[in-house]
Amino acid sequence: MAPKRTKAARGRKSVTRKQLRVAPYFVSLIVVLGLVWLSAVASAGFTKFPTPKLGLDLQGGVTMTLKASLPNGDAPDPDRMEQARQIIENRVNGTGVAEPEVFIDNGRNIVVNVAGKDTKPDQLRQVGAPAQLRFREVLQGPQEDYTEQNPKDFQNSGKNSDDKSDSKSSDSKIGSSDSPSDSGSGSSSSSKPSSDSSSSADKNNGEDPAKENASIKKQRAAVYKKINEMGKKQDPKQKQKLVDIAKSFASQAASMAQQGQPITKDQIKQSGLMKTLKPFGKLKPDEVAVLPPSMQLYTPTIGCGQLNGRTPGAVAEVNEQVVACNRPSDAEISQAKKAKKPVPYVKYLLAKARVVGEDVSSAGVQSDPQQAGKFAVGLDFKSKSTKKWQSLANDTVGKKVAIVLDNEVISAPVTEQGAGSGGQVQISGDFSSDDANLLAEQLKYGSLPASFTVETIDEVSATLGLSQMKAGMLAGGIGVALVILYCLVYYRVMGLVVIASLGASGAILYPAIAMLGAQIGFTLTLAGIAGFIVAIGITADSFVVFFERLKDEMKEGRSTRSAVPRAWTRARRTILSADTVQIIGAIVLYFLAIGVVKGFAFTLGLSTLVDIAVVFLFTHPLVSWLSRFRLLNNESLSGLHTKRRNSPDAPAGAVTLSKES
Amino acid sequence: MSFRDTLGRLYSGDTKVNFIGKRRAWYLVSLVLMLVCVGGMGLRNFNLGIEFVGGTQFQATVVQGISADQVQKTVESTGVQVASSQTAGSGSDEKYIVHTDGDLSNKQQENIKKAMSEKLKGEEISVSNVSSSWGSSVSQQAIIALVVSLVLITAYLWWRYERKMAGAALIALAHDLVLTAGIYALVGFEVTPSTVVGILTILGYSLYDTVVVFDKVHENTRDVFSQQRFTYADGANLAINQTLMRSINTSLIGLLPVAGLLFVGAGLLGVGTLKDLALVLFVGMLTGAYSSLFLATPLTVDFKLREPRLKEHTRKVESKRAASGESDVDVAAAVEKSVAETEDDAETDDADEPAEETPPVRPKAMSGAGGPRPGARPATKRTTAKKKKKR
């Protein structure tokens, strides 16, 4: 650089302005670029070119917004929202769509995004519904689960949702919390014809819940076939089909249970069925769901991991018998682990549901009248549903009634005499206040800790996505082209600097977006593209501020070389102030606004940040470097020279004195 | 003044439009415009999109030879009332858009999708379904965001410049928002959540523009009391003229991409986020450009002139001018001088700036900087010395 200095200093006697050392700036820019690209490529796994994660409006898919509210209209607290998010995520996974995204937006909305074609919007719509709550008489069970399955292996997503839950099933009981006044005695027996199901329960054990459902039959046949093939593979010598073995075992076990001598664990061990029927343990939860209840219950290799992993709603059908498992609490699981015992899962065979969640009007925690310091859950039924409950309670005195939430038995208390006397009952047991709270909430909302309503649901077909994508690109292209054209006309050679700077911005932004997509799941939506396009103006404007300053300085007669540092000092301030205002706006928008706004604010803010980086690390050093050449002093090329209206060589001070004629 | 000459002056920042002197006229213009807009909002309701009223929108690519009416009939044949049906966009992106009001059950939606798909020979149907409360929660949240960003940005401007500038910027901003909203009401453009977002962006943009002018005003008038050749208003007016080209450039460069968006959004797609955003930005940025020149800075001057010290100063300058018989003072030169002397403060602040001289070289460099303006040099030196003493 030394020779240039002497050359440029010509004509300026004693000025020894230290030149800006531009190399460090370019080096740091290259380092920044390198880092961003490296991390982008690394997030893409080094195998493919990093690409931004596209929003659903650009690639097609379904996005749904669910708004949470508590009965008093307030927003739930973050813990509840997270709990709800996990439950909803599990339900979405349960619908079998590929790679859903479920996240909390703005504190009280849960957004479900499912990309691609096979999005099942109708099923998605249901995920925000309160869980299906059913009251079913326990026909058979609890029966030990012999498989020791880990339920997590049977969930589609890695996350295990409902951590806390109680299964004080066997200890708890339902008693009347009414003053045992009228008691109504056996009264009811209700008009419901289904009320006799309990007495005829055993007879119905093997009842086929799908006798009228052709599609289930078909699915079942497919599963049977699969099982038989797996059985053949496992033991080619085995002549009998596995399904037949399981069927005959189930009916044998059922008849033994009927006689009051259920098959014991030892008997099963001796029979060798655990090994023979092993393929059943490999079925997916939804394959298990289509098997007849008796098979689900008695086949010793079908475990609660599979049963609890069934799609939510798999056992929601009111008029069918179903099999369901309990859900041991974390405490019980860790206890069992410590003792190196299997986790206490049990299966139940359950009768038709005679009371459902909609019959419950409210539930709340009460203190347990029989056990000091313990809690109970009080349950109110809607007045029109009271009869339903009374008939169930009166039919099941001394027996267990399972409270089933989605696929799982959350409690299976014994009905006490008098429980069916009114519209209120109390479920008591060895509840801590947390246990009781949870149960009460589950009874109130289903498993979701708040009620959710579908606010928006957008189904974007892949065609529409593609056309929006193209439109966004085209708009961006037109925007960039217009700005470049304008800058070239107006600033001439300096226009090239603008192009290079915009290029540098793009070179940082692209990998940044790709990386953010891979790292924090940032998706580029149409609104995001709009943010970029709007930001083109802001980015280019930083150059305008700088160049106009430069023009001012040069108007005063300075050479580019001396004008650049002076102009920069002043322009820098303006650029920073203006960008700060923009960034404040973007940040506030990002954190406070909902819906498409977020993507827009994010890209706008990001571009503004990158703009600052580019102006500081690239544009200014570049101009500074260029100013050492004669190029920018060329009046017709640089675009920085203003015409001097009096005489070209007049000192600047005189120029402005020209008076209008 | 010939057109060419005007352009030349504009280009070199030498325009001498008296923005400040005629400020009452600008205020009047703005006031009238705002009244018209407020009246418009009162008389005509906003044309609210489905996000605000709730409903379902079905979209599908246009199939040759089938009109929107036919599609509407198809939808109605499923027993659902159609609120509106139209085609939007152009070329291969042309689409049917069918709106229905109220909530549809899953079953109804499925039926409509099926019917449309059959009618349109298997085209894919995009459905978007919004509850009527969604729009209001978006707006509610947007208003919170608006208030918070206003507070933060005002605080920033206050800290960075001064209270009066922040106040003026806010009024200019309110003016932009009212005008934009009024134009929406009067023209009847559809208001969607994207529009609301766009309005929030205008806020940033309008202030951005204002800040650039303020920056120059700030610079020009920093040392207004150290001389008696120009008033605060003169300095501010000069700042507007000096940044005029930049303001025009900024607005143009900001508007060009938005125009691209608008062209694609409204022309090709016809509906949706792009169009809504682009339209509101376009309108908002135009009003923003106007208000930062004609409203924000004049208001700042008015606010500032309430300070007794400035009033006094203005009076002094004017009486001095009257005494000397100068009618056409070269404000630019005077400001130039004043700015030149403050410059070294700025440069001292920027000690980290690599381009700056090391302290020992300083006096030399200053004379070097002043070099091109020989006439100005003694004055610079004198005032600098005076100022140094003062500090």
Quick: pLDDT tens for B226-272. Answer: 777 788 888 888 888 877 877 787 788 888 888 888 888 777 776 67
- Give me B23's structure tokens: 């400020």
Contact residues, chain A, for B376 at CB < 8 Å: 653
> What is d(CA A320, CA A289) in angstroms, rounded to the nearest whole number?
13
Contact residues, chain B, for A483 at CB < 8 Å: 253, 256-257
Per-residue pLDDT at B326 = 60
Task: Give the rounded percent of residues in chain B with a pLDDT score beyond 70.
Answer: 77
Confidence grade of residue A316 (pLDDT, cut at 50, 70, 90): low
Confidence grade of residue A610 (pLDDT, cut at 50, 70, 90): very high
Per-residue pLDDT at A70 = 73
Statement: residue A152 has pLDDT above 70: no
Contact residues, chain B, for A533 at CB < 8 Å: 257-258, 260-261
Confidence grade of residue A652 (pLDDT, cut at 50, 70, 90): very low
Identify the three-state secondary structure at position A331.
helix
Q: List phi, psi (to 5°) of B40.
A: -60, -45
Strands A401-405, A133-144: pairing kind:
antiparallel
How close is the nearest chain A Cα to the Cα of B29, in Å? 27
> What is d(CA A542, CA A85) in angstroms, rounded to the nearest whole number?
42
What number is the average pLDDT over the span B312-319? 82
∠ CA B347-B350-B351, rounded to 5°: 100
Contacts of A498 (CB under 8 A, 6+ apart): A483, A484, A487, A491, A540, A543
B79 vs A567, higher pLDDT:
A567
Contacts of A200 (CB under 8 A, 6+ apart): none
**Residue of B124, B195, B268, B330 for testing the chain A interface, max A β-carbons within 10 Å:** B124
Per-residue pLDDT at A241 = 78
What number is the average pLDDT over the span B321-339? 68
Per-residue pLDDT at B221 = 82
Contact residues, chain A, for B135 at CB < 8 Å: none
The top-scoring range by mean pLDDT among A373-377, B172-176, B270-274 is: B172-176
Amino acid in position B127:
V
pTM for this model (two decimals): 0.63
B355, closest residue in chain A (CA to CA): A20
A598, closest residue in chain B (CA to CA): B197
- The reply to whether residue A585 touches residue B149, judged by beta carbons under 8 angstroms, is yes
The ipTM, to two decimals, is 0.72
Strands A401-405, A322-326: pairing kind:
unpaired
Statement: residue B346 has pLDDT above 70: no
A496 HSE (CA, 13 A, CB side): 10
Identify the three-state secondary structure at position A208.
coil
A634 vs A3, higher pLDDT:
A634
Per-residue pLDDT at B382 = 43
**If we measure between CA atoms, which residue out of A253, A212, A166 comes closest to residue A436?**
A166
> What is d(CA A499, CA A512) in angstroms, rounded to the nearest whole number?
20
Where would I find the beta strands (DSSP E) of B38-170?
47-48, 55-61, 84-88, 95-101, 126-130
| A349: β partners | A140, A323
Asked whether the CA dihedral B262, B266, B268, B269 is positive or negative, the reply is positive
pLDDT in tens, A25-50: 888 889 989 998 888 888 877 777 88
Instruction: Check CB contact of A454 with chain B, cutoff 8 Å.
Output: yes
CB distance A319 to A352 below 8 Å: yes
The mean pLDDT of chain A is 74
B139, closest residue in chain A (CA to CA): A593
Instruction: Check CB contact of B284 with chain A, cutoff 8 Å.
Output: no
pLDDT in tens, A164-214: 333 333 345 555 444 333 333 333 333 333 333 333 333 344 444 444 566
Instruction: Check CB contact of B159 with chain A, cutoff 8 Å.
Output: no
∠ CA B31-A534-A581, rounded to 5°: 65
Please state, in angstroms and as integers, the Cα–Cα distance from residue A122 to each residue in A292, A358, A459, following that order: 26, 21, 11
Please state, in angstroms and as integers, the Cα–Cα distance from residue A403 to each residue in A360, A369, A440, following that order: 12, 22, 12
Of B60, B193, B268, the CB nearest to A595: B193
Q: List phi, psi (to 5°) of B330.
A: -85, 85
Per-residue pLDDT at B25 = 86
**Rg of the Cα trace of chain A?**
36
Per-residue pLDDT at A185 = 34
Statement: residue B63 has pLDDT above 70: yes
Per-residue pLDDT at A286 = 75
- The reply to whether residue B201 touches residue A600, judged by beta carbons under 8 angstroms, is yes
- Residue A131, burial from CB neighbour count under 10 angstroms (0-12, 13-18, 19+): buried
Per-residue pLDDT at B374 = 42
Per-residue pLDDT at A155 = 54
- The reply to whether residue B375 touches residue A468, judged by beta carbons under 8 angstroms, is no
- Residue A213, burial from CB neighbour count under 10 angstroms (0-12, 13-18, 19+): middle
| A366: β partners | A376
